[in-house]
Amino acid sequence: MKVADVSYRSVWRDGDSIGIVDQTRLPHEFVTRRLSTGEAVAHAITAMQVRGAPLIGAVAAYGLALALSKDSSDSGLAAAFELLIHARPTAVNLRWSLTRMLEHVQPLSPEMRIDAAWGEAERIADEDIELNQSIGRHGLELIRDLAGDKSTVNVLTHCNAGWLATVDYGTALAPIYFAHDEGIPVHVWVDETRPRNQGLLTAWELASHGVPHTLVTDNAGGHLMQHGKVDLVIVGADRVSAGGDVCNKIGTYLKALAAKANAVPFYAAVPSPTIDWTISDPLTEIPIEERSANEVLFVRGLNEDNRATRVAIATEGVTAENPAFDVTPAELVTGIITEAGVVAATREGLAPLSESASGR
């Protein structure tokens, strides 16, 4: 996508390094960084300089290539895999991409592994863009159908599942970009998404692309739905069970409950690498990342002098808990927008995706 008329991917190869957009500096500053080692990549994922399930997967793949450039022996490969796979726990795309990389390079001699790893990482990144474009086209149909004679289609989204969270286009935001580009009047309610406020990334993306949007607090969605101000909810996902349960940013579940109560269609936009075919009980089997209490107790922003500042919002001694994701049961999900079309959030609906994923 474009930033000030320059086209960017959220990760790219830059000679013997990779480039990323440092998302901890957005929305106030657009800063890119060069990463040259597997360790730097693991840190970028853990510190959320890069974030969003598909992007975490793609960046980790490049991280393995970087690590192999330094040590492509069997032990070097095993160490890099271990380092990267533990960078963040919930998005299954990390395991998916590293396993794919491992299967691709392990049978090769150490000398052959480096080029092969770079090639496979580039393929994972390119494929991510194709998957998101397909999701965009299928999701566009939903928005077009809803548009009818409405003056505007109001979509609510949670967190950031835009181009910043993928290699390009995004998952939940791809249909919105496609609809806007086609001239369908679309307006987005952007959940702030406390505590890390990924909604501000979504607002920044939408503003850069000229898509009308309004930032709302996380508690506003139910009220907006009760008053007929939301036509459709589209969210992304970090891991989806084979039966269609959607694990996504904390607070997604509450939006799905409100959507159900108000007969608002609730969709998750999900590329096949985000489906975890091994999960049978999502509530006990999906690891939910517990992040620092400080993310709840402090907020970051610009002060009056336009300097980045962190301020305490609780008094000393207040304890906080910070689960980063939740699970929306399949029965609350109207459908899943995938690269193969919009499918039911059921085992039968998702099954064809398993075949297309294994055929890649």
Is residue 165 a contact point for ligand MRU (CB under 6 A)?
A: yes
For ligand MRU, the binding residues in 85-124 under the rule CB under 6 A are 91
Among 21, 53, 94, 279, binds ligand MRU (CB under 6 A): 53
Interface segment toward ligand MRU; rule CB under 6 A; list 45-53, 142-150, 327-335, 351-359? 45-53
Q: CB of residue 68 vs ligand MRU: minimum separation in angstroms?
A: 25
Which listed residue (9, 138, 249, 255) binds ligand MRU by CB under 6 A? Answer: 249
Which C-beta is closer to ligand MRU: that of 61 or that of 161? 161
Residue closest to 200 by CA, chosen among 329, 208, 137? 208
161, 184, 296, 332: which one binds ligand MRU (CB under 6 A): 161
Total Cβ atoms within 10 A of residue 297:
17
Contact indicator for 106, 80 with CB cutoff of 8 Å: no
User: Which residue of 171, 202, 241, 334 would you call a contact of ligand MRU, by CB under 6 A?
Assistant: 171
Stretch that binds ligand MRU, among 77-85, 94-102, 210-218, 233-241 (CB under 6 A): 233-241
Q: State how far the alpha carbon of 322 is from the alpha carbons of 78, 142, 194, 287, in Å.
A: 32, 34, 10, 14
Phi-psi map region of 50: left, alpha, beta (phi>0 left; psi -120 to 50 alpha) = beta
**With respect to ligand MRU, which residue has the nearer C-beta, 38 or 89?**
89
Binding ligand MRU (rule: CB under 6 A), the pick from 236, 251, 282, 335 is 236
Cβ proximity to ligand MRU: between 113 and 239 the closer is 239
Q: Please report whether residue 272 would count as binding ligand MRU according to CB under 6 A.
A: no
Among 9, 51, 100, 138, binds ligand MRU (CB under 6 A): 51
**Which residue is associated with the tokens 């991510």?**
128
Active-site residues, by number, are 238
Stretch that binds ligand MRU, among 50-58, 67-75, 123-131, 213-221 (CB under 6 A): 50-58
Closest to ligand MRU by CB, 72 vs 157, is 157
Q: Judged by CB under 6 A, which stretch of 51-59, 105-113, 116-124, 337-345 contacts ligand MRU? A: 51-59
Task: Evaluate whether 125 touches 59 at the Cβ level (below 8 Å).
Answer: no
Which is closer to ligand MRU, CB of 172 or CB of 264?
A: 172
Q: Is 157 exposed, middle or buried (0-12, 13-18, 19+ CB in 10 A)?
A: buried
- Position of minimal CB gap to ligand MRU: 236
In angstroms, what is the minimal distance from the CB of 305 to ligand MRU?
A: 28
- Residue 52 interacts with ligand MRU (CB under 6 A): yes or no: yes
CB of 269 vs ligand MRU, minimal distance in Å: 7
Least Å from the CB of residue 80 to ligand MRU: 21
Length of the chain: 360
Q: Does 186 bind ligand MRU (CB under 6 A)?
A: no
Q: Which residues would be at the binding site for ligand MRU (CB under 6 A)?
A: 51-54, 91, 159, 161, 165-166, 170-171, 198, 236-238, 248-249, 324
